[in-house]
Amino acid sequence: MAVGRRVLIRNAALLAAAQGCARRIDPARVISAPEDSAGHVTIDAPELRANGGSVSVHLGNGFVLLVANVEGTIVALQGGCPHAGCDLTWVPEDREVECPCHGSRFSSDGTVLNPPAATDLGTYPATIDASGKVVVTFYPGDGTYPKPDDTGKLTLDLASYPALAPVNGYLLGRVEFPPGPLLVMRVSPAQINAVSAVCTHLHCTVRPKGDGARLHCPCHGSEFGLDGMVLNPPALFNLDRFATSLSGQTLTIDLSKKL
């Protein structure tokens, strides 16, 4: 019977490890950088001025970014592994991300390549200026929602969002304001809920489950009610829920006001 290429590669890796000659992946240097009120993270690290350099950036909000220089282009990815939260490492020879804890691998665009991680990494736009200073946009919109005003008020004309017309209809996307990933759900003819889609366990993105009665995290199975309350662990904390008001066809979500 033919032996698959993947099996051969895995066996070679296991043999190398058993012989004590597995390639050692150096962890990225860890630095701290807060996000500003507009969600920008400014990083001044010499590693990012050279091809292949990387740093692990711990933000003040519990998130980690892995930032790397790939032939002059800066890539910024979710830096906490979606398997069990270890800090990820950039592997410059392969232009890939590896988890030092249990070996998950990801491509430079965040796509998961090898388990045990089962979900892709989030990615963030980043720029580098002539002095080598890097700015990462931590709350990039993805076009699902309009841009909120400076105070975090998000206004939707429901005529443009037919997905929210039926009960159990929902929108899931990234908004240019904290929390970034946002779920907006029609829970009854008269009520629409808006909750953070960032799982409070290890930051994976939650989504409605098949029956529409609860939210589910694909990483480790946490479940939440449509109001953001935790129903099943490992998450211990509720999702942030934001104030909404519905007037005719206009929905207003106040992202600065948590319920």
Task: Give residues in contact with ligand FES (CB under 6 A).
Answer: 81, 83-84, 86, 99, 101-104, 116-117, 199, 201-202, 204, 217, 219-222, 234-235
d(CA 79, CA 85): 9
- 126 within 8 A of 65, measured Cβ to Cβ: no
In the bound complex, what is the minimum distance in angstroms from residue 154's beta carbon to ligand FES?
24
Nearest approach in angstroms of CB 89 to ligand FES is: 10
Smaller CB separation from ligand FES, 48 or 88: 88
Smallest CA-to-CA distance from 90 within 132, 139, 45 is with 45
54 vs 244 by CB, closer to ligand FES:
54
Task: Give just the sign of the alpha carbon dihedral 109, 85, 222, 196.
Answer: negative
DSSP conformation letters of 226-238 = TTS-EEESS--SP
Q: Which two tokens stand for residue 74?
A: 């800066």
CB of 155 to ligand FES, least distance (A): 30
Residue 138, Ramachandran bin (φ over 0: left; ψ between -120 and 50: alpha; else beta):
alpha
CB closer to ligand FES out of 49 and 105: 105
Closest C-alpha among 170, 250, 157 to residue 213: 170
Cβ 240 to ligand FES, closest distance in Å? 14
Q: Which is nearer to ligand FES, 57 or 199 (CB)?
A: 199
Q: How far apart are CA 54 and CA 189, in angstroms?
A: 49
Compute the distance between CA of residue 68 and CA of residue 49 in angstroms, rounded to an integer. 9
Among 198, 202, 197, smallest CA distance to 84 is for 202
> What is the arrangement of strands in the sheet containing 230-232, beginning at the earlier edge strand?
207-208, 215-216, 223-224, 230-232
CB of 114 to ligand FES, least distance (A): 9
| Closer residue to ligand FES in complex, CB, 44/109 | 109
- Which residues lie across from 41 on neighbouring strands? 35, 136
Q: Name the residue nearer to ligand FES (CB basis): 186 or 203.
A: 203
Nearer residue to ligand FES within complex by CB, 55 or 217: 217
One-letter amino acid of 103: G
Q: Report the alpha-carbon distance of residue 204 to residue 192 in Å, rounded.
A: 23
Beta carbon of residue 234, minimum distance to ligand FES (angstroms, whole number): 5
Q: What's the min distance (Å) between Cβ of 157 and ligand FES?
A: 32
